[in-house]
């Protein structure tokens, strides 16, 4: 039953119906489209490999793993440091705000939905933190709710890819089959990204994604926008 509860938890919290506001963010894709870097389906795969894969393997997955370990040890000091790093290692204010806004909403939903004991622990572990970004929240959630950190990272990676590709359907001419093919291909890369992330620690985490960072920064002042980020 333990595995079943884990699966059901991840299905619920990874579903688009789970109201964390992720649908309002394009993960920088709208800025890339406006800049002409993404003009059609053929441009999505290289962008995902050069930017999203790096964000996951070199920043977000290590944050989830380390936050889960710290939460398991009730180490609020380490969690505060990870929350600060999560913010500091994102180049654009749009990206920082998006990760924190979604993380804050996910945390609020978890506190409301979890059994009282888990809710109290979630509240206690996050009470003294600066605004915890989504990866740190997911790491804490992993420890408190009894979710294997690797399973949490797979769910997180799925959401990252699915959100990016869902946004593409609103921004470029692409069909549902093409989106599902891309999603299928990139989900198969998740085990490798997870393995890469195991070698990243608190001092070495961070990634270099200048094209995406610049697109997000320009998007902040765009005259018209469909997405918040």
Q: Apex CA 58: angle with CA 55 and CA 64, to 5°?
A: 90
pTM greater than 0.85: yes
Domains: count for the chain:
1
**The predicted structure's pLDDT at residue 229:** 79
Q: How far apart are CA 45 and CA 167, in angstroms?
A: 14
In a domain, 226, yes or no: no
**The predicted structure's pLDDT at residue 147:** 96
| Average pLDDT estimate for 214-226 | 84
Query: Can you spell out the DSSP letters for 14-50?
Result: HSTTS-SSGGG--TTHHHHHHTTS--SGGGHHHHIII
Q: How does pLDDT run across 109-147, given as a tens digit for each residue? A: 999 999 999 999 999 999 988 878 999 999 999 999 999
Greater model confidence, 3 or 214: 214
Boundaries of domain holding 109: 25-219
Query: Which CATH number characterizes residue 166's domain?
Result: 1.10.4190.10
Q: Which residues of 110-130 are buried (b: 16+ CB within 10 A; e: fewer)?
A: beeebeeebeebbeebbeebe
In a domain, 164, yes or no: yes
Q: How does pLDDT run across 148-192, given as a tens digit for each residue? A: 999 999 999 999 999 999 999 999 999 999 999 999 999 999 999
Q: Residue 204 in 3-state DSSP?
A: coil
């Amino acid at each position: 039953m333990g595995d079943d509860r884990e699966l059901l938890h991840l299905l619920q919290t990874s579903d688009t119906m789970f109201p964390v506001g992720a649908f309002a963010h394009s993960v920088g894709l709208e800025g890339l489209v406006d800049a002409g870097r993404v003009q059609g389906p053929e441009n999505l795969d290289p962008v995902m490999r050069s930017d999203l894969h790096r964000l996951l393997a070199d920043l977000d997955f290590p944050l989830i793993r380390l936050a889960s370990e710290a939460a398991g040890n009730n180490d609020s000091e380490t969690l505060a440091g990870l929350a600060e790093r999560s913010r500091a290692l994102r180049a654009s204010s749009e990206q920082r705000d998006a990760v924190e806004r979604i993380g804050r909403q996910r945390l609020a939903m978890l506190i409301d939905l979890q059994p009282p004991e888990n809710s109290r622990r979630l509240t206690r572990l996050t009470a003294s933190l600066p605004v915890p970004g989504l990866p740190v929240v997911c790491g804490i959630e992993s420890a408190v709710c009894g979710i294997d950190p690797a399973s949490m990272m797979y769910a997180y990676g799925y959401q990252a890819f699915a959100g990016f590709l869902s946004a593409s359907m609103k921004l470029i001419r692409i069909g549902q089959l093409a989106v599902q093919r891309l999603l299928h291909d990139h989900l198969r890369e998740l085990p490798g990204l997870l393995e890469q992330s195991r070698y990243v620690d608190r001092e070495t985490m961070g990634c270099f994604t200048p094209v995406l960072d610049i697109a997000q920064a320009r998007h902040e002042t765009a005259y018209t926008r469909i997405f918040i980020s």
